Amino acid sequence: MSQWPFVIGAYAVAVLLTAALFAWAYVSMRRAEAAADELIRK
C-alpha cells in the first residue's frame, strides 16, 4: 500500500482548513472595519 496518498491527504486537509479559517477571519475583519470607518465618516 502506497503511503503517499495518506501524506498528501493530510497536508491537503491542513492547508484547506487553515486557508478557510484565514479567509473567514480576514473577510469578517475587513467587513467590520469598513462598516466602522463608514459610520465614522457619516
Partner 1 sequence: MHAFANPARFLKIAKPATTWLLLVGLALTAIGLLAGLTLTPPDYLQGETVRILYIHVPSAWLGMAGWMGIAAASVSQLVWRHPLAAVAGRATAPAGATFAAICLITGSIWGRPTWGTWWEWDGRLTSMLVLFFLYLGYIALASAERERGGEGRITAIYGLVGAINLPIIHYSVLWWRTLHQGESIGINGSSIDKSILWPLPLTVIGFTCLFGAAVLMRIRAELAETKVEARMRRMSR
Residues that bind partner 1 (CB under 8 A): 1, 3-4, 6-7, 9-11, 13-14, 17-18, 20-22, 24-26, 28-29, 31-33, 35-36, 39-40
Q: Is the dihedral of CA 12, 14, 19, 20 positive or negative?
A: positive
Q: Which helix (H) or strand (E) holds 11?
A: helix 4-41
